[in-house]
C-alpha cells in the first residue's frame, strides 16, 4: 500500500523586509537611495541583488546590519530577523548581532581592514569579542584555520602581515574569513569575489555553496552575473533605488521581463564576438587635441613598441627569505595591439607591469621602450619619456588625491598646456571623450561612483597622448553595464588613436573580448602565450586549461518551477 506523506509546512522566514527605505538628508528629494524594497529569505537559500553602480544594492545590504552610513534615515514597515526587530536597535544591540548572527563581507577590502593591524588580529577580533576562544593559542589556531578555509597561501605568515602587504585577492579572502569566523545564521556578501582570480573565486564560491548547504542563508550582491546565475535561488534586480524585477533565478536569467534586466545580461562579455560592442553607448568622441599616434595597425603588425627580455625580480618575504616573484619573463607588445596578461593572484602580473613601466628595477633582464633602453637608464633620463606610457589602476580612488577636484586630477597630466583657458578646454574635451559632462570638473573623487572614477582615470591616462597604457584590473570593480561601457571606450580609443594596451585582468571573459594576444603567468613564469582565440580554444598548458575550466559561465536556462522565497512585491 502506498503511503503518501503529508505536505511539510513551509519553513519560516529567517529575514523579512517590507518597504525598506533609506534616505540621506531630510530636505533632499534626491537623497533617497532605497525606495520600498521588500523580500523574505529562508535558511538554506541565496538571494542575489544585482544592478548598476548607484542602484542601492550596497545601501540595502548595509541597512540590514545597521551600517547604512552617517546621516542615513532607515525606515521599513518591517525588518525582522529571527524575531528581532532590526528597526529598533541601539548600537550595543547591533554589536550582539553583527558577526555572531549576521556576517558581513564588505566590498572594499583595502578600506575595510585596519591598515595598522595585522590581518590575523583583524580576523580574530570577533572571536575575542564574542568569547568564542579561550586562549591565545586557540585564537591563533582558529585564525590560521579560517585563512586556510578561504584559500590564503602560507596562512601562518599572512596572519602576521599588514593588509597592504597582501594582494587584493588575499585581502578579500581575509575579509571573508572574518565574516565566517562565528558561523553566522545569515551571511551578507557585498561583491565577495570582485578581486579574486578565477581559481580562487571558484574555491570561495564552493565555500559559500557549502555554507548555504549547511542551512545558512546568503544575500549575495554582485555585478558578476555568471556568479549570480550559479549561486542564487532568487534574484532582485535594482535600478535607482527600486526593484524593477524579482523572481527565481531561472526565470530572471531564462526569461527576463524587464528591459533593464535584458540590458544587464547582454552586457556580459562572455560568449560575445571578440571586439564587438557590449553597450548601447555611442562611440567615444575623439578630442581634437588627441590626434592619432599613427594609423592603427592590425594585430599582425611587426612594429614592437614595448619589449621585455628575461625579467627577474626578487623580494624578501616577511620571514626574511628571498622570493622570486618574476622569473625569466619575456614579451613583446606591438603598436596598436592589446596584450592580455592573466594568472592567479600572486602570479607576478602586477610586478611584471611595474617592471615594464620602470617603477621597479629588474634584478635581471631588461625592458626596451620605443626601441630604446628603458629599465637600465637613470630616472632623470626616463622622466621626459614617461608621458608616453600611462597606467590605469584597479582602484582609482587610491591613486587620486581625495582633496583634488576632477579638473585638477586631469590637469596634472597636461604639462604641455600653458594657458588656463586652453587647459580647461582640453580637460572638458577629455571628460566628454569618456562620457562625462563638464559638470564633473569641480567634483572630488569621493563624490563619484566607481564607474565615474574609472572614467576619470582613463581621461587622465590618455591626456598626455601616450603610446602605451598599462591597464591593471581596470574594470574588476565595475558593474557589468559600466564595465561594458568602459571596455567599449577602451576599444574606441585604441581604434582611433592607435594606442597599445598591456591589459592585466583575472576576468578571462574580459581578456578574451579585448585582447589580440594573451600571456598566461604562474608563480612568476610565463606558462603559455599566443593568439587569444588559439589560447582559449586550444590551450596547451594544463594550468591554462584549469583557469579556463574555472571561469563561471552565465547560465540562462528556460524558466522553471523552482520555488521562490520571495513573498513580497510584484514584478515591475
What pLDDT was estimated at residue 562? Answer: 42
CB atoms < 10 A from the CB of 282, how many? Answer: 9
Assess whether 260 and 312 both reside in one domain.
no
Please state, rounded to an integer, the average pLDDT across all residues of the chain. 85
pLDDT at 287: 63
Residues 228 and 144 in one domain: no
Q: Are residues 120 and 136 in the same domain?
A: yes
Do residues 356 and 311 share a domain?
yes
Does residue 276 form part of some domain? no
Residues 99-123 have a mean pLDDT of 85
Task: Say yes or no to pLDDT of 193 above 70.
Answer: yes
Distance of CA 178 to the CA centre of its chain: 19
Asked if pLDDT for residue 270 goes beyond 60, the answer is yes
The per-residue pLDDT for 448 is 84
| Residue 123 covered by a domain | yes
What pLDDT, on the 0 to 100 scale, is given for residue 561?
A: 43
- Going by pLDDT thresholds of 50, 70 and 90, the confidence category of residue 224 is confident
CATH, residue 248 = 3.40.50.300
Asked if 94 and 161 sit in the same domain, the reply is no
Question: Does 19 lie in the same domain as 164?
Answer: no
Task: Choose one of 162, 183, 204: the last residue of a domain.
Answer: 183
Instruction: Indicate the pLDDT class of residue 299, thresholds 50, 70 and 90.
Output: very low
Q: What's 402's DSSP letter?
A: T
Band of residue 567 on the pLDDT scale cut at 50, 70, 90: very low
Q: Which residue has the higher pLDDT, 547 or 482?
A: 547
Summarize the confidence of residues 212-236 as an average pLDDT: 91
Angle at 220 between CA 214 and CA 224, to 5 degrees: 125
Q: Is residue 174 part of a domain?
A: yes
Q: What is the pLDDT of residues 390-428, one digit of tens each?
A: 999 877 777 889 899 999 999 988 876 666 788 888 899
**Domain annotation covers residue 219:** yes
Residue 570: CB partners within 8 Å, gap ≥ 6?
none
Does residue 441 sit in the same domain as residue 480? yes
pLDDT one-digit tens code per residue, 318-336: 677 888 999 999 999 999 9
The answer to the question of residue 204 being in a domain is: no
Cα separation, 30 vs 444, whole angstroms: 19
560 pLDDT higher than 50? no
Residues 479 and 367 grouped into a single domain? yes
- Whether residue 542 sits in one domain with residue 560: no
Cα distance between residue 505 and residue 349, in whole Å: 9
For residue range 20-49, list pLDDT tens digits in order.
999 987 655 557 889 999 999 999 999 999
Please count the structural domains in the chain: 3
383 and 245, same structural domain? no
Please check whether residue 355 is in contact with residue 389, taking contact to mean a CB–CB distance below 8 angstroms: no
The pLDDT assigned to 563 comes to: 42
Q: Is the pLDDT of residue 493 over 90?
A: no
Structural domain of residue 404, as residue ranges?
A: 304-550
- Nearest CA to 37 out of 65, 68, 6, 60 is that of 60
Claim to verify: residue 49 and residue 90 sit in the same structural domain: yes
In this prediction, residues 112-127 reach a mean pLDDT of 89
Report CA dihedral (551, 555, 561, 563) to the nearest 10 degrees: 40
In-domain check, residue 283:
no
The 10s digit of each residue's pLDDT in 124-136 is 988 988 888 889 9
Asked, for residue 3, whether it belongs to a domain, the answer is: no
For the entire predicted model, the pTM comes to 0.77
Q: Evaluate whether residue 436 is within a structural domain.
A: yes
- Do 258 and 166 share a structural domain? no
Amino acid at each position: 500500500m502506498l503511503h503518501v506523506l503529508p505536505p511539510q509546512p513551509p519553513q519560516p522566514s529567517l529575514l523579512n523586509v517590507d518597504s525598506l527605505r533609506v534616505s540621506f538628508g531630510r530636505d533632499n528629494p534626491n537623497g533617497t537611495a532605497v525606495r520600498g524594497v521588500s523580500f523574505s529569505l529562508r535558511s538554506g537559500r541565496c538571494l542575489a541583488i544585482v544592478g548598476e553602480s548607484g542602484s542601492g544594492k550596497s545601501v540595502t545590504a548595509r541597512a540590514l546590519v545597521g551600517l547604512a552610513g552617517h546621516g542615513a534615515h532607515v525606515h521599513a514597515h518591517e525588518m525582522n530577523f529571527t524575531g528581532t526587530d532590526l528597526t529598533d536597535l541601539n548600537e550595543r544591540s547591533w554589536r550582539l548581532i553583527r558577526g555572531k548572527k549576521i556576517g558581513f563581507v564588505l566590498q572594499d577590502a583595502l578600506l575595510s581592514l585596519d591598515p595598522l593591524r595585522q590581518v590575523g588580529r583583524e580576523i580574530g577580533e570577533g572571536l575575542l569579542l564574542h568569547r568564542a576562544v579561550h586562549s591565545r593559542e586557540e585564537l591563533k589556531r582558529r585564525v590560521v584555520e579560517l585563512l586556510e578555509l578561504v584559500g590564503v597561501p602560507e596562512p601562518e605568515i599572512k596572519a602576521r602581515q599588514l593588509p597592504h602587504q597582501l594582494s587584493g585577492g588575499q585581502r578579500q579572502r581575509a575579509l571573508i574569513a572574518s565574516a565566517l569566523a562565528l558561523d553566522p545564521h545569515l551571511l551578507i556578501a557585498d561583491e565577495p569575489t570582485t578581486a579574486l582570480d578565477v581559481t580562487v573565486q571558484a574555491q570561495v564560491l564552493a565555500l559559500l555553496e557549502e555554507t548555504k548547504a549547511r542551512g545558512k542563508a546568503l544575500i549575495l550582491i554582485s555585478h558578476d552575473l555568471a556568479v549570480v546565475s550559479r549561486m542564487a535561488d532568487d534574484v532582485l534586480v535594482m535600478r535607482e533605488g527600486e526593484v524593477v524585477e524579482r523572481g527565481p533565478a531561472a526565470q530572471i536569467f531564462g526569461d527576463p521581463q524587464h528591459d533593464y534586466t535584458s540590458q544587464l545580461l547582454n552586457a556580459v562579455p562572455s560568449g560575445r564576438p571578440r571586439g564587438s560592442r557590449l553597450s548601447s553607448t555611442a562611440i567615444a568622441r575623439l578630442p581634437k587635441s588627441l590626434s592619432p599616434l599613427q594609423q592603427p595597425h592590425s594585430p599582425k603588425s611587426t612594429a614592437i613598441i614595448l619589449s621585455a627580455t628575461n625579467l627577474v625580480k626578487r623580494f624578501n618575504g616577511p620571514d626574511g627569505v628571498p622570493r622570486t616573484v618574476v622569473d625569466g619573463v619575456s614579451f613583446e607588445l606591438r603598436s596598436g595591439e592589446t596584450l592580455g596578461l592573466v594568472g592567479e593572484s600572486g602570479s607576478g602580473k602586477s610586478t611584471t607591469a611595474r617592471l615594464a613601466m620602470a617603477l621597479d628595477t629588474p634584478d635581471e633582464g631588461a625592458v626596451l621602450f620605443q626601441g630604446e633602453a628603458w629599465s637600465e637608464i637613470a630616472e632623470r633620463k626616463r622622466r621626459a619619456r614617461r608621458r608616453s606610457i600611462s597606467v590605469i589602476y584597479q582602484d582609482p580612488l587610491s591613486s587620486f588625491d581625495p582633496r583634488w577636484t576632477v579638473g585638477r586630477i586631469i590637469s596634472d597630466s597636461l604639462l604641455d598646456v600653458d594657458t588656463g583657458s586652453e587647459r580647461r578646454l582640453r580637460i572638458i574635451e577629455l571628460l566628454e571623450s569618456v562620457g562625462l559632462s563638464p559638470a564633473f570638473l569641480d567634483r572630488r573623487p569621493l563624490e563619484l561612483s566607481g564607474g565615474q572614477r574609472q572614467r576619470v582615470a582613463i581621461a587622465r591616462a590618455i591626456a598626455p597622448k601616450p603610446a602605451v597604457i598599462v591597464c591593471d584590473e581596470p574594470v574588476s570593480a565595475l558593474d557589468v553595464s559600466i564595465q561594458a561601457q568602459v571596455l567599449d571606450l577602451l576599444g574606441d580609443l585604441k581604434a582611433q588613436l592607435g594606442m597599445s594596451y598591456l591589459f592585466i585582468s583575472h576576468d578571462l571573459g574580459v581578456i578574451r573580448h579585448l585582447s589580440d594576444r594573451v600571456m598566461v603567468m604562474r608563480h612568476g613564469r610565463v606558462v603559455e602565450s599566443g593568439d587569444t582565440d588559439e589560447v582559449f580554444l586550444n590551450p596547451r598548458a594544463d594550468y591554462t586549461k584549469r583557469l579556463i575550466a574555472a571561469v563561471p559561465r552565465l547560465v540562462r536556462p528556460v524558466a522553471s518551477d523552482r520555488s521562490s522565497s520571495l513573498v513580497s512585491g510584484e514584478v515591475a
